[in-house]
Structure 1
C-alpha cells in the first residue's frame, strides 16, 4: 500500500494581500486559505504599511513595511523595506515550493532570488500582460522590468500558470518555456457570490446600498481607471433606455459626479460587493488586456448576465457567445447591448442562468487547489492545457 503524500509547504508571494482590495490579492488569499484547509502549510509574504506576522485562517501572513505612494498615481507598486530579502530567504529555505503571483513586483524579485539561493522550485502565476498605462514612463518601466527580472522568473519557473490565452502568449514571448505553461481558471466562492434567493433579498440589498428600487441596474466593479473602461461605459450610457449604472470601486470618482442615473458605491468589502451583485440586474466591464477578470467570474457566480470585452484571452473558456456578450470596446455597441438587456427580463434570466451554471461547473476552489498542488509537484491534473491547446 502506497504512503499518502505529505501536503506541501508553500511560500506564497503577492505584492498586496487583504485587507488591501484588488483582484490579485483576493486570488492569493483564497488560494492560501483553501490550500491550508486541504492540509498544506502556507506562508504568505506581502507588503503593508507596517511589518507584522500573524496567523489568519490557518495561514501565516508575513507583512513587510512598504512605501505605497505610487498607488495614489494609479501605479500599484509598493516599495518594500530591504527586510523583504531576508524574509524571503528564511521562508523559502523551509518551503517545498515558492508560488509567486505576477513577476512585476519587488516581492516577486525577492522571492525569485530566494528560490535560486535555496534551490527551491518556484511556480509563477502570471495574471496580466503589459498594461496600456497612459504614462509613457510607466509603459517603459514595464517593458524594462519584464525584459530583465520578469524574463528570469518566467524562464526558471517549474510551471507558469495563466488565466487566459492572451497572457499565455505574453508569457511565452517574455521567456516562459511553452512546455511548462498551464491554463488554470481562478476559483470563486460560490457560497458568498450567489444569486438573490428571492425578490425581497434583492430589494433589501438595494436599500442597504442606497440604490433605487424601480430601475434596471447595470453594475461595474473595478477601479475607475481607463484600463477598466469606466470612461467607455459612461460614454455609452443612455439613461432614456431605462437603466442606471452602478459603480463599485475607487479611482476617478469625480467622473461620476452629477451624471443622471449614475450611482457610485466606492470601494466595497467582499461581503458588500456580493450584496451589490445581488442588488443589480446585469454586469458590464469594458476592460482591456485582462482576459477573464475575477469580477466577471464573481458576477457569473452571482447569476448576472455579463457584457464584457471580446478579448482573445477568453478562448480557452469556450463561452457560449449567445449567453455572454463579448463586444468591441465601442460605446455605440456597448450602449446597444445595455439597452437590449435592460428591455428584456427573459433574456436577462436566460443569460443569468447560464452564468451561474458555468461558474458552478468551472470555478470550484476545490478543483483549483487540487490542480495547483499537482503543479507544485511538477505533475499535471485535469487542468492540464498546453500553450498550443489554448488556441484550439
Structure 2
C-alpha cells in the first residue's frame, strides 16, 4: 500500500472496527461503512479513516478504498469469537497508532468500549439493532450482547442509533445517557445499473424480468426466509422465489433452508452489487419477512431501485416509512401468502420520497458532527 502523505498523517485519525472489512464484504454494517466513510472523508479533509477488518474476509493485509485505509487484523473465523477477538486487537492497534477517535459498530464489539476508554481513546458506538434478539445466539451469547449494549451506552462518548424506534428504546432504558444518543439512519444506497447486460444476467439464473420474487439477506433464522418459502408454496404463486445471500458460517439452519431449493425456489448465493441492481429493478416484488433488523439496508437498496416492496411489520421495517399496505404481520404466514396472491404492483412505493429520507450525504454530515462532538469532549 502506498504510504500516507504527511498531510494525511496530520489529520485527526479515526479508527473503525466492528465490521469484517470493505469493500464488497457481505453485511449491513459493512455496506453502511462502505457508503458512509468515503463521503465523510471527502467532505472533511481534516479527518482520516482507518478501517480495521478481519483477515479471513480480506485478501490483502492492507489496502486503500476511496481514500480509506483498510487493515486486516488476524481473527478467528468462528461465530462465537471473531467479533470480540478482532475488536480487542483493533482497540490495541488504534491506541498504538495514536487514534483520535475509535468508532465501534454493533453491541457485541461494544463490550470493548470500556477498554478503549481506559486506554485513553474517545469512542463513538453505533447501535445497529438488538443483536441479542437474534435466534442464532444461545443464552450466554445473548447475555454478553446485552452487556455489550449496556457498556457501550454507558461508556462511549457518543452513541448513534440507526432507527428512531431504537433511539426511543435506548433513551427510555438508559435515561442517564439520553443526551449523548443521536438517531442517524442507514442510507438508501444507489447501485450502479447498466441495463445493457440485464437480460444476460437474468438468464444466468434462469429468470425473466417481472416474473420473480426477490429476497436478500444472510441465511440466518431471524431473516425468516423459511416463512417466505412456506408462504410462497401455500399461495400457489407461479412466480419464482429467488433468495440472494449466504451464511457467514456453516449452520444446520442454512443447510436445511438450502435443501428446500427447487424449480420454484432458487438460492442464488452471494451476488455482486451490479447483479443485485438488475435483480432489484426487474423483480416483480421484493420481500423482507424478518423477525429482527436494525434498519435494513437491503430494503433501502430495493426502495432506491424502485422495487415493489412487502415487509414484516417489525419496528425497524416500519421505521422506513412505507404505506400500511407494504407491511404484513411478522410471522403470519397466512397473511404473507395472501399478499403473494396479489400482483406486485399492489405494493408499489414512492422511491423518490424514500431516497430523500435516507440520503447518505446528509447522513455523512450528521455523523461527522457526532465525531467532532466526541473528540471535543
Q: Give the structure 2 partner of residue 164 of structure 1.
A: 163
Q: Give the structure 1 partner of residue 93 of structure 2.
A: 87
How many pairs align? Answer: 351
Q: Do 2:41 and 2:48's aligned partners in 1 also have CA atoms closer than 8 Å?
A: yes
Unaligned runs of 5+ in 1: 1-5, 380-392
Q: Do 2:133 and 2:142's aligned partners in 1 also have CA atoms closer than 8 Å?
A: no
Equivalences for 1:228-307 in 2 at 5 Å? 228-238=223-233, 240-251=236-247, 252=254, 254-256=256-258, 257-307=260-310
Unaligned runs of 5+ in 2: 1-9, 248-253
Match among 222, 247, 252 for residue 227 of structure 1: 222
Question: For residues 176 and 31 of structure 1, do their structure 2 counterparts lie closer, same or farther at Cα, with a shift above 3 Å needed?
Answer: farther
Partner-residue secondary structure (3-state), 2:79: helix
Matched, 1:16 2:20: yes
Q: Give the structure 1 partner of residue 133 of structure 2.
A: 132
Equivalences for 1:1-392 in 2 at 5 Å? 9-18=13-22, 19-38=24-43, 39=45, 40-49=47-56, 52-70=61-79, 77=83, 79-80=85-86, 83-91=89-97, 93-95=98-100, 97-105=101-109, 108-110=110-112, 112-118=114-120, 120-134=121-135, 138-147=138-147, 149-172=148-171, 173=173, 177-192=177-192, 202-207=198-203, 209-213=204-208, 216-238=211-233, 240-251=236-247, 252=254, 254-256=256-258, 257-314=260-317, 316-322=319-325, 324-342=326-344, 345=345, 347-348=346-347, 351-352=348-349, 354=350, 356-378=351-373
Partner-residue secondary structure (3-state), 2:119: helix
Question: For residues 374 and 222 of structure 1, do their structure 2 counterparts lie closer, same or farther at Cα, with a shift above 3 Å needed?
Answer: same
Moved more, 28-37 or 298-307: 28-37
Q: Do 1:112 and 1:122's aligned partners in 2 also have CA atoms closer than 8 Å?
A: no
Deviation digits for residues 192-248 of structure 1 (CA, Å, limit 9, x no counterpart): 3x6x86xx76534422x4233276211000012210010000110136333221000
CA distance in 2, matches of 1:140, 1:176: 27
RMSD (Å), alpha carbons: 3.0
Q: Do 2:242 and 2:265's aligned partners in 1 also have CA atoms closer than 8 Å?
A: yes
Question: For residues 111 and 57 of structure 1, do their structure 2 counterparts lie closer, same or farther at Cα, with a shift above 3 Å needed?
Answer: farther
Question: For residues 109 and 363 of structure 1, do their structure 2 counterparts lie closer, same or farther at Cα, with a shift above 3 Å needed?
Answer: same
* TM-score normalised over the length of structure 2: 0.82
Q: Do 2:328 and 2:336's aligned partners in 1 also have CA atoms closer than 8 Å?
A: no
Q: Do 1:14 and 1:44's aligned partners in 2 also have CA atoms closer than 8 Å?
A: no
Q: Do 2:165 and 2:316's aligned partners in 1 also have CA atoms closer than 8 Å?
A: yes
Question: For residues 276 and 27 of structure 1, do their structure 2 counterparts lie closer, same or farther at Cα, with a shift above 3 Å needed?
Answer: same
Partner-residue secondary structure (3-state), 1:319: coil
Question: For residues 333 and 232 of structure 1, do their structure 2 counterparts lie closer, same or farther at Cα, with a shift above 3 Å needed?
Answer: same
